[in-house]
Structure 1
Amino acid sequence: MAKIHLGEDSKSLAVRIVAHFTRAIDAEVIQIVETTSEEHKEEKLLSIPALVTSEDGRKFVNYSPYSIIEHICKLTHFQKGFVGKSELQQSKILSYFEVIEKQDEKILAEALNNDLKLRTYLAGYNITAADIFAYAHIITYAKGLSKKDLSQHENLFRWIDQIQHSSGIQKFAVDHDLLIISADDLVDPASMEETKEAKPEKNNSKKDKKQQNKGNKQKNNPPAKKQGEVDYKAEPVTLVDFRVGHIVKVWPHPDSDYLYCCSIDIGEEEPRSIATGLQKVVPIEVIQDAMVIVAANLKARNMGDFKSDGMVLCSENEDATNFELLTPPEGAVPGEFVTFEGYGRNPPDRLNKKKKIFETVQPHFKLDGEGIAHYKDAKWLIGDKGPVYCKTFRNGAIS
């Protein structure tokens, strides 16, 4: 069994997170050795982290964080999805490793915030080793920033929020006191002064306040149902508003090589503006006029100068090297609801992002051997017209 010597530095933190994320420790394919500076010298290690393996009685030591993480991923079958599905993605991930180690934390925060302006993750459509390595190097610095500072790095903290709530990382983040403020709690610096000015004076008498409340009948009426009153204890998948959509117009995002900008009819008065990161993997002629499945009640996001209000669902093959749009059954029309076999449907107008509803259900989306979309063992259905499916892939994931 390979031994990995770790210290208290950011590179060791990245390796430690990957070991937990891939469950390499639970599978007992590696042994983590917490090494002090004195033990480090006694073991004659040049630096930390260090991967120590043996072969034919000879000891080999590897000090490259990328190689150590790659070794863990190979042992746990995470290699293709985590350290690169193609040579291009592998090169991109490796370049992040090289750059991150050399940058000051403040400069790194600015660089990541800029890189994430038009991306969900650093080097692909899902979390990769680049995200973990960057997260480990920036999290301590990020925890020390004020709310005002956080609001000036909105893209960075949206990304951190996704990383820290990812399956396999959240418990580690909690146990090691790495959790930071949610991106939804960021303060808008421009509104801080307005809030201060709008604050009522303290010398208002109780009598004045009672008279004001009495004169305002609306305050005595029951408040409208708020987002916080949604039953978030319900089965999470029943809270996501999945609908049939028709892409009426599509064009490349002017500032991104990864995004398409789409105008999608989902049965509302006006088409929705939705960005999708398929520019490099799906030809534009395939996107144009396609019938698709849209998650319609997620929080809207600014992707550069384009406001994206929803998500287009796509599927991927078993190797996660190709992507394809999910397809509604024949006869489905824009605006029809997706239901899940055996489950009800009660989505709010907008999901509370802090509840991580979509992030909770998405890992359970999959294609079966016939290409039919499932949530766990339940089919995605459009009324009595049939199931949602993928034309080409079988036994793949859905994102």
Structure 2
Amino acid sequence: MATNGTSDLKRKQGIVSSLCKHFSLDPKAFSSQVPGNDIKTLYINILKSSGKESPQNNDEVMKWIAFADSFPSDSKACHGGLNELNTDLAKKSVLLGNGFTPSEADVIVFSVIHSSMIALSTPEKEKLPHVMRWMDYIQNSEDLGALFEKILLEKPVFEPQIAKAAAKPEVTSSAKGTVQNTKIADKPDTEKNAKKSDSAKKAKGDKEAVPEKKAPEKEASDKDKELSVSLLNIQVGLIRKAWKHPSADSLLVEEIDVGEAKVRQVVSGLAKYCSPEDLTNRRVVLITNVKPGKLRDVMSEGLVLCASNEDHTKVEPLLPPEGAKPGECISFSGIDGKPEDVLNPKKKQLEKITPNLFTDEKGVATFKGIPFMTSAGPCTSSIPKASIK
């Protein structure tokens, strides 16, 4: 590792202190081990003392330990490693762990790169937005303030989402304003008609005034609700079995585990793009509150969401990250709401929502640019800038 003895010792002391805090151990018990051992050995000794077994993703932990061990202490030489880390963090919240739960790998890498990040200028930090976001999350979630100088982070990343969230009330307000203006404009006519004859006032006043005032408000409310992705119950599924549709060459039938007592049978138009073998044991994203119905005499109880390029020559199901559990619901940051029990085909909710579903330039599935999130990270596709249906 390209560093002198003093900085190497200080770096390992920081790793031991943060790992001991992570595992709720006393770092003094390991202080004598720091000078004569590398990062890997220190980690193994601390893990054994914690009484915890090696994680299932131990190979990934070792990969990040190797990254930490080879990370240069020279601030000028560290940019390559930081750029690599920034790219890796673009699609996930933590290096390893269950979605948003930091792992020992996160703690080790944080400890190693901290001094380099502190030394960067503001413009240099702005070029590493994902690393900065991750550093801020680790230092707060692991409560490392007493061990490391706090990295201050301005958070402009959230501004676009706030702007999007604010856009809906503006539209709603405008819609309500239009309804109110219409009422105001109609009122004089009603009054004029009322003055013309008492009989007209009795005939039209009760019948026309009440329905016309209430109906537009209800329609505006329904419209807003239909445009929200929260209307859809989107879940992670695992295809247990797939086969060709008995009477349609373009269709496949899948049995999908969504964490319920019984698997769901779903018919998908994927026969041109995937074989049954390709889909078996594959994770997918599906809408589970569509109205069940038969497709060519075979019952379908869901809709598998797929990404498609512009000319539809390439189509593939969205892929939840490894670690996402069958049945867990997809979430969208800043968007809350309870999904419909069953979507009403007559309201055409899907037709109004799907134009806002697409993958970004990195293949991350989004609703209006907000990622499809699971406990293990975002759902993705190998097709960037694709439509999702």
Higher share in helix: 2
Give the TM-score taking structure 2 as reference length.
0.42
Query: Normalising to structure 1: TM-score of the pair?
Result: 0.41
Greater strand percent: which structure?
Answer: 1
